[in-house]
Amino acid sequence: QWDRVLNRLRAEVGEAAYRSWLKPLSLLSGNDSFIRMAVPTRFMRDWVAGNYQDRIQVLWLEEIGVPAQVEIVVQQPVRPVPKPALVDVVEAPTPVVEAVSERLVVDVPNLSTEVVHEAEVQRITAPLDPRFTFDNFVVGKPNELAYAAARRVADAEAVPFNPLFLYGGVGLGKTHLMHAIAHQIRTAHPEKKVIYLSAEKFMYQFVRALRIKDTMSFKEQFRSVDVLMIDDVQFIGGREATQEEFFHTFNALVDQNRQVIISADKSPSDLEGVEERMKSRMGWGLVADIHPTTYELRLGILESKAEQLDVVIPQKVVEFLAHKITSNIRELEGALNRIVAHATLVGRSITLETTQEVLHDLLRSNDRRVTIEEIQKKVAEHFNIRVSDMHSSRRARAVARPRQIAMYLSKQLTSRSLPEIGRKFGGRDHTTVMHAVKKVEELKSTDVEFAEDIELLSRMLEN
């Protein structure tokens, strides 16, 4: 089974990437729904997890027909790796920090004897945005797993996995996918009761039910649905009473084999102020993360939105936007709408100049580049030395070379001057930095493997 997946992956990524990243993967254990693989270094683990893990999950889903959790662990190889500087240590398990939850004081004033009417309760579900459909969703590497999982849930006749947990940063398409699932199910099965609401609204409804002393009908309403979607579940963090209720609702639905779909800005285990049992329960189905956008995805989205708006935007402007607005899809969309609105308003066509003018403020806030501190941290991690060695005066090759590489990357990836970079490396002189840059360039031109390492590091840093 794994071989089938691996072969498809190999065909997709090409021989070179296959040999560097996929061939060294060794399958430790696995069944239909769980695969554990080992790689020799932490660096490789990060790389494979960042670049191939989602694809592996997608291919697995397609080939085997069931979702699998993929786990990649670091395990030292039996033979020493030829380049000692790159050998990483086997990781110690990270201690689990227990989140401390704040108690929610539910204030239950005895004010109302209001009755919850049936019609009112039906309004529990929030309205769906008609534009948030699968057709309007542009699929790329960062969101392909989440998309595949969402489609599966929407199209499957029986519950394929429960719950589906979607997570990712703001403005990356979680809500869009949830609405798309709801549209799809409602169209195919109008008889099904599909409820979509934010965790905040869930909380509000619950607190309100407590207040009017009608938790019974609240419970019934939620427990009789076919599909329950709770968006932005991180908001229940720290609210104990709401969590408790949500947990019961969740369990009742899953036990009855009703589909539950949850979104959050973090993975289940990283949610703050959420009980352990709840976190672990939410991770039982399929957990799919949506990654930050790539240039290709941003291009695709701009093209698709321009078509929807029925405007022609010069290719130069499209590329400029895709390069500059990297924060999230919501901002990208907002930027496009703004330049289109401006052009319509002043009755002129869209140019690069007007774009820069109109988006002045937005462009500045998106101009976040990597910092020297981040470079030092990543490089130190990569070579398994201490960050403090970046500032120290030790000259041993094992620390001097990584330090030079970090200086080189600081020059390439930030807009800092040589003296500024020198200061950040323990107050070194700008000539030292210049020397480091030259040295690394020289090594890059003579040593292919070294050049590849530097290339990888800088790509990891830029992401």
Instruction: Mark the binding-site residues, compressed into ranges.
Output: 171, 173-175
E strands, 186-302, in order: 194-198, 227-231, 259-264, 286-290
CB of 139: closest distance to ligand ADP in angstroms? 7
Contacted entry of Mg ion, ligand ADP, none for residue 125, CB cut-off 5 to 8 Å set by kind: none
Q: What is the DSSP string of 105-170?
A: -------------HHHHHTTSPPPPTT-SSTTPPP-GGGHHHHHHHHHHHH-SS--SS-EEEEEST
Q: Are 296 and 143 in contact (CB under 8 A)?
A: no
Integer angstrom CA distances of residue 106 from 115, 262, 271, 399 = 20, 24, 22, 56
1: nearest Cα among 55, 50, 68: 68
Of 9-17, 107-115, 132-140, 365-373: span binding ligand ADP (CB under 6 A): 132-140
132 binds ligand ADP (CB under 6 A): yes
CB of 274: closest distance to Mg ion in angstroms? 18
Q: Which is nearer to ligand ADP, 132 or 206 (CB)?
A: 132
Q: Are 109 and 211 in contact (CB under 8 A)?
A: yes
Query: x-or-dash pattern for ligand ADP, window 151-190, by CB under 6 A?
Result: -----------------x-xxxxxxx--------------
57 binds Mg ion (CB under 5 A): no
* Helix, strand, coil percent content, the chain, rounded in steps of 5: 55, 10, 35
Distance CA 82, CA 85 (A): 9
Distance CA 282, CA 277 (A): 9
Of 151-159, 168-176, 285-293, 309-317: span binding Mg ion (CB under 5 A): 168-176
Question: Which positions make up the binding site for ATP?
Answer: 171, 173-175
Within 278-307, the residues that bind ligand ADP by CB under 6 A are 301
Of 62-70, 252-260, 329-337, 428-436: span binding ligand ADP (CB under 6 A): 329-337
Query: x-or-dash pattern for ligand ADP, window 210-229, by CB under 6 A?
Result: --------------------
175 binds Mg ion (CB under 5 A): yes
Distance CA 198, CA 216 (A): 21
143 binds ligand ADP (CB under 6 A): yes
**Residues near Mg ion (CB under 5 A):** 174-175
**Residues near ligand ADP (CB under 6 A):** 132, 136-138, 143, 168, 170-176, 301, 329-330, 333
